[in-house]
Chain A
Amino acid sequence: MRMPRSIHGRMLALSVVTTLIALLVSGFAIGGVLDRFVTHNVDQRLGDRLMLLGAIVRKDGTIDRALLDRMTVETAFAADAAWRIDAPGGAIGGAMLRGMVVRSDRDGTMPLGPVAPPGDRRRPPGPGGPFEALLIDGTRVHGRADIVPTDAGPVRIAVAVPRRTIDQPLRSAMLPLLATLAIVGIVLAAATLVQLRLGLRPLRTLRDRMVEIRSGRARSVPEDQPDELRPLAVELNALVRDNDAALATARASAANLAHALKTPVATLALDLSGDPRGGQVARIDATIRHHLSRARNAAVDRRAATPLAPAIDDLVAVVRALHRGSAVTVDVAVPPVVVAIDAADLDELVGNLLDNAARHARSRVAVSARRDGAMVVLEITDDGPGITAADRDRATAPGVRLDERGDGHGFGLAIARDLAGLYGGSLKLAEAPGGGLVARVALPAV
Chain B
Amino acid sequence: MRILLVEDDPDLGPAIARALRAEHCAVDLIASGIDAQHLGDTERYDAAVLDLGLPDRDGTAVLRGWREGGRGLPVLILTARDGWSDKVAGFKAGADDFLTKPFRIEELTMRLRALVRRAAGHGATRLTCGPLAFESQTGVFELDGLPVRLTALEWRVLSALMLAKDAVIERLDLMERVYEGDADVDSNSLEVIIGRLRKKIGASLIETVRGRGYRLTDGTA
Given contacts A263-B101, A269-B104, contact A344 B12 (CB under 8 A): no
Q: Do the beta carbons of A348 and B15 come within 8 Å of each other? A: no
Closest chain B residue, CB of each to CB of A265: B102
Q: Do the beta carbons of B88 and A315 come within 8 Å of each other? A: yes
Closest chain A residue, CB of each to CB of B12: A267
Q: How far apart are the CA atoms of A270 and B102 in the complex, in Å? A: 8
Instruction: Pick the contact of B92: A258, A270, A285, A314 (CB < 8 A).
Output: A314
Q: Chain B residues with Cβ under 8 A from A324's Cβ?
A: 97, 114, 118
Q: How far apart are the CA atoms of A261 and B105 in the complex, in Å? A: 18
Q: Do the beta carbons of B84 and A351 come within 8 Å of each other? A: yes
| Interface residue range, chain B | 20 to 34
Q: Do the beta carbons of B114 and A266 come within 8 Å of each other? A: no
A418 to chain B, nearest CB (A): 15
Q: Do the beta carbons of A267 and B15 come within 8 Å of each other? A: yes
Q: Do the beta carbons of A348 and B102 come within 8 Å of each other? A: no
Does A352 have its Cβ within 8 Å of any Cβ on chain B? yes
Q: Chain B residues with Cβ under 8 A from A264's Cβ?
A: 9, 11-12
Does B31 have its Cβ within 8 Å of any Cβ on chain A? no
Does A24 have its Cβ within 8 Å of any Cβ on chain B? no
Which secondary structure dominates where chain B touches chain A?
Answer: mixed
Closest chain A residue, CB of each to CB of B7: A263
A51 to chain B, nearest CB (A): 110
Q: How far apart are the CA atoms of A259 and B86 in the complex, in Å? A: 12
Does A305 have its Cβ within 8 Å of any Cβ on chain B? no
Among B88, B100, B102, the one with the most A-chain Cβ atoms within 10 Å of its Cβ is B102
Q: Do the beta carbons of A263 and B84 come within 8 Å of each other? A: no
Does B152 have its Cβ within 8 Å of any Cβ on chain A? no
Q: Do the beta carbons of A344 and B15 come within 8 Å of each other? A: no
Instruction: Pick the contact of A266: B84, B91, B95, B102 (CB < 8 A).
Output: B102
Given contacts A262-B102, A263-B12, A321-B96, contact A351 B87 (CB under 8 A): yes
Q: Do the beta carbons of B97 and A285 come within 8 Å of each other? A: no
Instruction: Pick the contact of B98: A261, A314, A322 (CB < 8 A).
Output: A322
Q: How far apart are the CA atoms of A311 and B45 in the complex, in Å? A: 33
Q: Chain B residues with Cβ under 8 A from A215's Cβ?
A: none
Does A42 have its Cβ within 8 Å of any Cβ on chain B? no
Q: Chain B residues with Cβ under 8 A from A56's Cβ?
A: none
Instruction: Pick the contact of B15: A271, A317, A321, A322 (CB < 8 A).
Output: A271
A sample of 24 cross-chain residue pairs with beta-carbon separation below 8 angstroms, ordered by A number, consists of A255-B83, A259-B53, A259-B79, A259-B80, A259-B81, A262-B80, A262-B100, A263-B12, A264-B11, A266-B12, A266-B101, A267-B11, A269-B102, A271-B15, A314-B88, A317-B88, A318-B88, A324-B114, A344-B84, A344-B85, A347-B83, A350-B84, A351-B87, A352-B84
